[in-house]
Structure formats: C-alpha cells, structure tokens
Amino acid sequence: MRKGISVPIFMVLMFILLVAVLVPAYLLFSSTQIYSNQGSQQATGYLEGQSQEVNQVFRGNPNVYYNSSKTPYLQVLFTSIPYPLNLTQIYYFNGTSWDPILKSSLVVAGNTFIPLPSKAFNKPVIMVSGEGNVYFLNPNTSINTVNVQGPAGKFPVYIASFVENGSSYIPVSVSVLFPSSSSSALTPSVYYVLPGTYPLTDVDNTTFLPQYGITGVFQNWSIVGGTLSNTNQLSTSVTVFAPTVITAIYKAQTNKYTVTIKPRNLPLAPNTTTENSRGSITLTSLNSTIPVKIDNKTYEISSNGTELNLTYGYHIVQFPAQYNITFNYSTFNYSFSSNGGHPKFSSQFSAPAGEINCYILTNLFSNTSNISIAGPNEIFVKGPGMVYGNYSLGDVYYASIVSNYFFLPKGATLDKNSTPILGNIAGQLIQVNNTFVIGPIDNYHNQILYFKNGTILLFTYQYLTGITGDFTINGQVYSQLLSCPVNITAIYPIGNKVNIVAYHPEQLGSITIDSPIYIIDYQEWSYGGVAL
C-alpha cells in the first residue's frame, strides 16, 4: 500500500521541481532577447535620427549660412515646417585650435541668427549636433561638408586642412594616412571608427596654392572631440572617444626673393639677325615680348626678362609651349667682280612679315641652386636667382605674296571706266596642287599666304576672268571685258631670280618654298563686248 502511494508523490515532487527551475530559466532567456532587441532598436533609431537630420539640412530645411563679417553670425532659415536642430556646440578656429562658443546646448526650432565672437571673423566654424553630425562651414558659405550617419558604435572623424596666410585661412587638400598607414585620402575626409587610438600622418610637409602664389609649410595639428599624442609632428596618434574634428594647419611662407624670369634663345625685338650664306639676309623681329603666366597672372616679358619678388616655396612659371615670331625679311644681293675685288651690288628684295619662325619650349632652367625645377611648369624658390625658358627653333614658314596684274593690249587706251580694270584687280585665278586657288580678294591688296619651308606649289591651272561695267577703250564702248591669262611670275630674293610659268597647260610648272616669294598673275583684257 505504501509502495503504491510513493509513485504519485514522486511525480508531484518532480513537477514542482520542473516548475521551479525551467520556468525562471525560460523567462530569463526570453527577456535577454527582448533587451537585445530593444538595444538594436535604439541603435536603429539613433541612425535614423542622424540620417533624417542630414537629409533635412541638405534639402535646405534649415539652410545654415555663415556670414563672416566684422560682426559674424550664423543664419538659420527654415523653408518649410521647422525640423528642430539641436546644437551641442559651435567652434571657431583661432589660428591654432578650435574654441567653443556655446555655454550649453541650443535647440533651433525657427528662423534664427546666432551671433559669433568677433574673433571668428574670416575663420572657419564647426557645428556639432545632438545627433552626432558634424557640420563644417568656411567663411561666407552654406553647409557644404557634413558627416553622414555611420555604423552603430562608431564615431565620425572629420579631417580638414588650412593654410594660415596673415589673417585669412585658406582651405587646401593634402594627403593624410588614417586610420592605418595604408589608408590614404585627400582632405577633407570623413572616417567612422570605433573608440580607440589610431595612427595619423600628414604626407605633405608643404602645400602649394597656385591661385595665390604661396607655399604653406606644416605647422601643427588641432583637434576637437579627441586627443592627439603630439600636435607638432607630421605623424601622431589620435584617441577617439566622441565625434572628432582634426585640422592640419599650414603656415604661409612670406619670405620673398628677387627672381628674374627670362626667355632664352628667342630673338625678340629689337633683335636683328643677318645671314651671309645667300647674300646679305636681314631678319628683323616684329615681336617684342612673350606672354608668360606666373602663378596664374600673365606677364608680357621682353628679352631682358622681368624681376619679381617671389615667396619661399613653389611657383608656377608657364612659358608658351610654342611661340611664333614674325620677321621682316630683306636682302641685298651681290656678286664678285671677275678679278675677285670688291663686291658688286646687284639688287634688293624686301618682304614685310616675310618669315615666321616657330620656337618650341624645351625646358625651364635656373642658373643657381637657390631655385630648383620642380616640374615642367613649376619651380621651388629658396633664394634669389634667374629662371630661363629655353627654346629651340622648330618649323619655318615663308610668305607667298600673291597679286594680279591686269593690262590692256598694246596700243589700247582706256578712256573711261566705271570700275577699276588695271593693275592689281581682285580675283583668285591660280589653281594650286589641284586643290585650292590663290589670288587677291580685294582690289589693290595683295593676298599673303604662309607655307612651310620646303613646300612645293604646283600651278595646275590659270583661269581667265570677266568684268561688267561701262568701259570706253580707244573710243569704243564696252559693257563686258574678258581676260586672257599671259603668265605667272615668281620673284625670289636670291639674285632677284624670276621664274616664268607659261599659261599653256603643258608648260605649267612648280616652285619650292624656301624663302619669301612674290607671285604675280599677269592677265590681258583681250576681248570686249556689249550686252544684247
């Protein structure tokens, strides 16, 4: 009987034990999951808040403008229903570090002007929001750089850089290594890192601002929201425990040195060159200066060069890659008498602007170790000296001066005319190389063409032409005249040589351009008539 009762009693005891142990265990594990979900939901809500604030700001609601006047202020304007902006701190850059402005957090829920200290004039400012976003503003700009939301548990690290030039601070881009020695980027940059200590290196000891013609040399780091192991070295360590802003500060070099910029091997006016290989050839330069861009400012520099006071550091010196110089070309040809005595002058030839020489820039060169050549168009100045732009002669072009000469048949006299018909009358009547025609396009004005040295001009056709008007020739009245091509004459400067090209197609010839040349198309008014 007792044995039968013991079994039910044992079952009751085991049930009580299960209830006492398993139910609390179940509740414990299930509540842990609930707490975990709550933490995840809180992180998600935080990220959504960050994202929503960023989107609102970028959409201009609010629009934050930094007016950097003598009495600087931040202007916050909402374009629709205000989205409250909770500002935990505002910083301005004092030249070496970031100074806080707010004594406590500020909630902006409507159009607001936030006054800034007068010391903030012409200096960048930083706004840190309660959502953990960092907004960066240069003087007289709206928000253009913002930390977007990052992964939960990570802090944004914003790295910027400036050059201090007197009372102004100029944003620049430099290369930094963060958060590891293998991760390189240009400032400004945003990173998201877990709390901890990370290496930070500024790769560029100097930075050049070509638009200002100044070089900045690294001075120190500045930080807001974290700590730096050393602020005066290019390489340091940063400890991150909150949203952080790090600034690399450069100091503009103001020491100035006298530097002469000068072209070399460039025959600028009043240069005159005389050659005697083919008689006495005189080339007189018509170009007196060459445009040279130095630190984005153009100077017209003569053969004597120009002196500038340049600051220590890098400078841009841009000579034209190719520069053309035009010369007046003249000769005074001569031949020796049979007994080898004094020369006997024979003829003179002149071609205004008859030659164009193309000079090619080869390199920059300095005559002193005070100035080094840093690149094709860049120098580094450490002291006074001279910088040359070296040129070498490239292609040479000669002028072909083309004119027409219309005349009447022998014995004919022009009594009256309503339009010019004699001399250099307009008409492009010479076909060259079967491709184009040459000749003056205005009465009494030559056509001037330039051809590369060695070019061959093949005269492939000589056209006739007609003219309409009222003409009286030898007492006879005509309303139309028709020309007949006679020949083409090419006059060279060498010995005043004349090359006659006949009209007849089988006798058409060619000329080689190796000097300026006059080309004259002779045409006779051979026929006349009256319109019916």
> Domain with 130 in it: what CATH number?
2.60.40
**Domain-embedded: residue 7:** no
Adjacent-strand bridge partners of 484: 524
69 and 132 within one domain: yes
Q: Are residues 451 and 362 part of one domain?
A: no
Least confident of 97-101, 229-233, 241-245: 97-101
Q: What is the largest CA-CA distance in the chain?
A: 170
**Is 14 in a helix, a strand, or coil?**
helix
Taking only the tens place, the pLDDT of each residue in 28-40 is: 444 444 333 433 4
Q: Which of these three, 239, 254, 269, is where a domain ends?
A: 254
Residues β-bridged to residue 442:
445
pLDDT at 363: 97
Tell me what the mean pLDDT of segment 293-310 comes to.
94
Same domain, 273 and 329: yes
Assigned domain for 324 exists = yes
Task: Based on the fold, state whether residues 107 and 169 are members of the same structural domain.
Answer: no
What's the pLDDT score for residue 494? 65
Provide the residue range defining the domain that includes 154: 150-254
Of 335, 365, 397, the one marking the end of a domain is 397
Q: What is the mean pLDDT of residues 372-396?
A: 95
Query: What confidence tens digit (pLDDT) does each residue in 174-183 have?
Result: 999 998 877 7
Question: For 87-134, what is each residue's pLDDT tens digit?
Answer: 878 888 776 667 888 888 888 888 888 999 988 888 888 888 777 677
What pLDDT is recorded for position 441?
95
Tokens representing 336?
Answer: 């020796």
Partners of 283 in the beta sheet? Answer: 273, 329
Share of the chain above pLDDT 90, in %: 45
272 and 392 in one domain? yes
Same domain, 343 and 375: yes
Assess if residue 113 is contained within a domain.
Answer: yes
pLDDT given for residue 79 in this prediction = 79
Q: Which two tokens stand for residue 323?
A: 């520069």
- Which of 397, 415, 448 is the last residue before a domain boundary? 397
How many domains are there within the chain?
4
Q: 433 and 486: one domain?
A: yes
Global pTM exceeds 0.75: no
Q: Is residue 33 a part of any domain in this protein?
A: no
pLDDT at 490 over 80: yes
Q: Are residues 112 and 161 in the same domain?
A: no
Tell me which DSSP letter residue 101 carries: -
Check if the beta carbon of residue 464 is closer than 8 Å to that of residue 523.
Answer: yes
348: which residues sit within 8 A by CB, 6+ positions away? 330, 331, 332, 333
**Is 532 domain-assigned?**
no
- Note whether 230 and 310 are same-domain residues: no
The two three-digit tokens of residue 450, written as one number? 């330039």
Domain shared by 269 and 375, yes or no: yes
Q: Say yes or no to pLDDT of 4 above 60.
A: no
**Per-residue CA distances from 152 to 52, 54, 191, 238, 392 (Å):** 16, 16, 13, 20, 64
pLDDT at 41: 44
Distance CA 19, CA 326 (A): 109
DSSP H or E run through 3: helix 2-58
Note the pLDDT tens digit of each residue in 407-426.
Answer: 999 999 999 999 999 999 99
| Higher pLDDT pick, 89 / 401 | 401
* Backbone φ/ψ region at 439: left (φ over 0), alpha (ψ -120 to 50), beta: left
297-311: average pLDDT: 95
Q: Name the nearest CA neighbour of 163 among 66, 245, 106, 248.
A: 248
Identify whether residues 264 and 347 lie together within a single domain.
Answer: yes
- How many Å separate Cα 459 from the centre of its chain? 45
Among 367, 377, 366, 369, smallest CA distance to 314 is for: 377
Q: What is the pLDDT of residues 200-209, one digit of tens each?
A: 999 988 998 8
Q: Among residues 208, 232, 205, which one has the least CA distance to residue 217? A: 205
Q: What is the mean pLDDT of the chain?
A: 83
3-state SS, residue 433: coil
Whether residues 419 and 515 share a domain: the answer is yes
Residue 424 in domain = yes
Domain-embedded: residue 120: yes
Strand order in the sheet with 290-294: 297-301, 290-294, 313-318, 378-381, 371-375
